[in-house]
A and B are shown apart, each in its own frame.
Chain A
Amino acid sequence: MQFAIPVLSLTIWLPILGGLAVLASGDKAPNVSRWTALGFSVLTFLVSLLLWSGFDLTTAGMQFVERVPWIPAFNAWYHLGVDGIAMPLIVLTTFITILVVIAGWEVISYKPSQYMAAFLIMEGVMVGVFSALDAVLFYVFWEAMLIPMFIIIGVWGGPNRVYATIKFFLYTFFGSVFMLVALIYMYFKSGSLSILDFQAMPLGMTEQILIFLAFLAAFAVKVPMWPVHTWLPDAHVEAPTGGSVILAAIMLKIGGYGFLRFSLPITPDASASLDWLVIAMSLIAVVYIGFVALVQQDMKKLIAYSSIAHMGFVTLGFFIAFTIFHRPGDDAGVVMGIQGGMVQMVSHGFISAAMFLCVGVLYDRLHSREINSYGGVIHTMPVFGALMVFFAMANAGLPGTSGFVGEFMVILASFQADFWYAFLAATTLILGAAYTLWMVKRVVYGPVANDKVAGLKDANGRELFVLGTLAIAVLALGLWPAPLVEVMDASVQNLVQHIAVSKLGVAPTAVAALP
């Protein structure tokens, strides 16, 4: 189904234009910038819903395609399109951005127009990453994303923000430049910059391994995977609440998306031969980082580490595919693993956003993120306390919440691959429950810890609206994940068929071509 209006372009450029408008409005009338920002974010969300409503479930091909020449000199196109993998993530992006705008409403008093503008521009750029089908266009969006986030953490962040934001920028920049070289190399191999052409083109094993490693450098930093995760706790702790939310809910997903769009389909053979590396990194993230999360004193740091552990599940789900292929019998686990990873990404988008917003609510009142500063919050903030407990349960993977669905699918799929993968992955059910619930116990329950907590006021309408919306989303996805799974089904099936076929047989001479 084709739309007469360019929905994807609209979803990208509307918030960017909105951001510029907000920027131009200045800080003389903060409410004007806030309402303009809210208006644009809601409008963008509504536009992005057209993607969902007009989506054709039966095809794995790209939909809502737009293709216009961009830089004819090297065959770069303004080429957009989405499949079932990208589309839910775009809707997630536009949805979360509304909540971020509302969550920053009166909390941000220093240059609110620049704050709102940064998030709107960020939104457009992230949608661009998910919808770009041209390698240069993708890379432009991918890197451009760093600029607003750099500013957000650096301007509105905590005391150690400069260190955190520069570390964040350099880590991700370092990871992605190698991807750039790989993309240029493939451009000369194929004569095209289309990501779809890259997926179809034959590649020799040495090339595939080098390209795979270049991609791994870019995506592993973004996800982030152990051992290149260390920027994330710093960035999260220092970022303002909105920055943490976007970082956890969307930016990490871009790494996972990269694995599905680039690594697996472009270098299937290298992925197959190096899958042990990614699986090992994922399992270390799940187990080791789970233990690290247990000992954190800072709530944001704890959630940051829990994010790393949860994203370990995502990459595990993607890369067990090859082990399952090797084993005799049914390959249904492959699809389930990848779908589980996708569900986990969307679900983690809701839950981590909610957890960071909860911490934000507390931080705005007490200006402390230390677990020790709290205790007995439920007595003074009953409604908020209940919501926080709910999100904590979801984070621990309680059945009925979205956190359970993804984890369960991935664990189930890993059983088909290897018992020990599944065993190690399942430890998260214990570890996740331990670190999340222990934090909740210390913060929310128990006697009222001090005078400051005793003086707390319950969440106001704005905060309740944001958290309530997320609670509904978490429950809905937990109880009825079918619509999400259906949307991505055709694309995931197609991806699985694609990676099952080796690219090596097609081009026996390709190895020699590598200089």
Chain B
Amino acid sequence: MTFDYAHLLPLVPEIAVLVLASGILLVDLWLKDQDKGVNHVLAVAGLLVAIGLTGLVGGGAREIVLSGNYVRDPMSDLLKIAILVVSLLAFVYSREYLRDRQMLVGEFYVLTLTAVLGMMVMISANSLLTLYLGLELLALSLYALVAFDRDSPNGAEAAMKFFVLGALGSGLLLYGMSMLYGATGSIELGAIAQAVAGQGTANEVLVFGLVFLVIGIGFKFGAVPFHMWVPDTYQGAPNPVVLFLGSAPKIAAFALAFRLLVDGVPGLHADWQGMLIILAILSMAVGNIVAIAQTNIKRMLAYSTISHVGFIFLGLIAGNADAYAASMFYAIVYALMAAGGFGLLVMMSRRGFEAELLDDLKGLNERDSWQAAMMALVMFSMAGVPPTVGFMAKLLVLEAVVSVGLWWLAVVAVFFSVIGAYYYLRVIKIIYFDKPDTTEPLLASTGARVAFSINGLAILVLGLFPAVLLTFCQAAFTL
């Protein structure tokens, strides 16, 4: 095994994020309390650089480096850029909130950036070990972030639940991985795929291990029946953390599922397809129905996440290149919508006031009609109403399942999406039809306003011209 510096070239974006995180950790030591804003500037600038670098080293055919442990392909390029962009949005939204609560400290940025790094490693993993490494880096950073407001009992409770269930999920995943290794004798995904193709489903250890892999994936996605941590964590965590936790990691979870199931065990497609169908239907059903009963908008959006996970699974279930592209499109679009939805909550929170109840949005149209219109776009998009991009995403995954003859699954999916439309409409009702308790204008920084406008308009523009993003998604699976 020889080491060549050229092998590190595809890792430049990851290296950049790591340098950024370490840099902020150091710089923060010398910053006075009133200068903590420098952290924010550094993080935003660093992410922009990382996006640029990903674009520069990206493109072109698949490359496998570091002795088969790491892969860079068009899919990883696109997903990394999506994660970096969503994280950037999260930073911009959160600045005011963090400053008002004395949370604008280096640790927040460091933890978030290590989480970003973990996601990037997951996306580019080509062996079970790298995959797990990235996953744990992400998970550990998130556990700490959820408890970031250390004086909040809700935050501590949320972090504890998240940690226990997350650790359980990781454990199950690791157990499944060990069986996979035992059955195939390799931790490299390509080699595993070949070994699986050789022995097929005859090997019971393999199928047994697959069950644990799917359960682990279900935990990380928050799919029913492994969703228990999602609403509690969302409710307890500080708004900026929920914003981050609810958006970017869904993209990473898609990568996790894709790397494990499609890159790793494509030969067992028939087996994991059946498991994912059950998870998808349960997620869509429970997510959409339980969300109706929520009065806390963070919990409502948590259940909404669960239902969207069901839709992301639909593309994986279908199992062809177009379907994976549809699923990836959905995951990216969902992250964008979630960033918008939680972003508004972050912007609406003021010093000593956390916007988390549905009623906190009352009469937003009278307080700020532009932000209200953007939020309405986000909600219509989550409900899947054209001309927003949420509809296009749903259309694509539905097409994917119909294309493999599972049209009954499409009928089930649209049925639950109608049920789901109700609670998104209720948010719009609260924004537009109710009278506000206060006429105070929103105290959001210009940066957050601009970011929110871009976010909302992107949802509309991508809905009208989905080809802009879809072309990249499809290119990722045809090369």
Contacts and interface: CB of A to CB of B under 8 A. Distances in A.
B467 A71 contact: yes
A169 B425 contact: yes
Contact of B391 (A72, A143, A150, A185): A143
A420 interface: no
Given A181-B407, A181-B411, A114 B402 contact: no
A181 B410 contact: yes
B414 A178 contact: yes
B20 interface: no
B433 interface: yes
Contact of B432 (A144, A155, A185): A155
A292 interface: no
A145 to B, nearest CB: 9
Specify which of B386, B415, B418 lies most central, judged by the most chain A CB atoms within 10 Å of its CB. B386
Nearest to A166: B425
A184 B421 contact: no
B375 interface: no
A181 B414 contact: yes
Contacts of A140: 386-387, 391
A169 B385 CA distance: 11
A184 B385 contact: no
Nearest to B385: A143
A92 to B, nearest CB: 23
A150 B424 CA distance: 13
B466 A185 contact: no
Contacts of B387: 140, 144
B429 A73 contact: no
B398 interface: yes
B429 A70 contact: no
Contact of A139 (B386, B399, B422, B428): B386
B432 A184 contact: no
Contacts of B428: 150-151, 154
Given A154-B432, A173-B418, A184-B410, A146 B398 contact: no
Contact of B398 (A141, A150, A169, A181): A181
Contacts of B410: 181, 184
Contacts of A151: 428, 432
B380 interface: yes
Interface in B405-462: 405, 407, 410-411, 414-415, 417-418, 421-422, 425-426, 428-429, 432-433
Contacts, number: 92
Nearest to B383: A173
Interface in A342-373: none
A111 B373 CA distance: 14
A301 interface: no
Main SS class of interface, A: helix
B386 A144 contact: yes
A144 B365 CA distance: 20
B92 interface: no
B471 interface: yes
Nearest to A110: B366
Contacts of A162: 429, 433
B474 interface: yes
Interface string A180-209: 110011011000000000000000000000
B433 A155 contact: yes
B418 A166 contact: no
A184 B398 contact: yes
A150 B418 CA distance: 15
B467 A72 contact: yes
A136 to B, nearest CB: 7
Interface size, B (range): 35 or more
A70 B391 contact: no
Contact of B385 (A146, A174, A185): A146
B403 interface: yes
Given A147-B380, A155-B432, A180-B395, A114 B369 contact: yes
Interface in B164-196: none
B386 A177 contact: no
Interface string A111-152: 100100000000000000000000010011111101100110
Given A181-B402, A181-B411, A170 B380 contact: no
Contacts of B380: 147
A506 B418 CA distance: 36
Given A73-B471, A144-B385, A150-B428, A178 B399 contact: no
A71 B395 CA distance: 12
B425 A188 contact: no
Interface in A398-426: none
Contacts of A161: 433
B435 to A, nearest CB: 11
B242 interface: no
B145 interface: no
A433 B334 CA distance: 54
B470 interface: yes
B466 A71 contact: yes
B196 to A, nearest CB: 27
A111 B421 CA distance: 26
Nearest to A174: B418
A148 to B, nearest CB: 11
Nearest to A151: B432
Contact of A177 (B407, B418, B425, B467): B418
Nearest to A114: B369
Contacts of B417: 177
A170 B292 CA distance: 14
Interface in B349-406: 365, 369, 380, 385-387, 391, 395-396, 398-399, 402-403, 405
A161 B428 CA distance: 13
A71 B470 contact: yes
Interface string A154-177: 110000011001100110011001
B385 A170 contact: no
A187 B405 CA distance: 13
Contact of A73 (B365, B398, B403, B467): B467
Contacts of A166: 422, 425-426, 429
A70 B398 contact: no
Contacts of A114: 369
A440 B471 CA distance: 61
B425 A136 contact: no
Contact of B395 (A141, A173, A184): A184
Specify which of A144, A151, A154, A180 lies most central, judged by the most chain B CB atoms within 10 Å of its CB. A180
B334 to A, nearest CB: 19
B433 A154 contact: yes
Nearest to A177: B414
A70 B365 CA distance: 33
A111 B367 CA distance: 12
A155 B363 CA distance: 11
Given A71-B470, A147-B385, A184 B402 contact: yes
Contacts of A180: 395, 398, 414
Contacts of B422: 166, 170
Contact of B429 (A143, A154, A170, A178): A154
Contacts of A141: 386
A114 B422 CA distance: 23
Nearest to B474: A73
Contacts of A136: 395
A73 B413 CA distance: 22
B402 A70 contact: no
A173 B414 CA distance: 10
13 contacts: A73-B466, A142-B386, A143-B385, A147-B385, A150-B428, A154-B432, A170-B422, A181-B407, A181-B411, A184-B398, A184-B399, A184-B402, A515-B407
- Closest 5 pairs between A and B when the two form their complex, measured CB to CB: A177-B414, A140-B386, A515-B405, A154-B433, A143-B386
Given A154-B429, A170-B422, A173-B421, 13 more contacts: A71-B466, A72-B471, A114-B369, A143-B386, A144-B387, A146-B385, A147-B380, A150-B425, A165-B429, A165-B433, A166-B429, A178-B411, A184-B402
Interface of A: 70-74, 111, 114, 136, 139-144, 146-147, 150-151, 154-155, 161-162, 165-166, 169-170, 173-174, 177-178, 180-181, 184-185, 187-188, 515
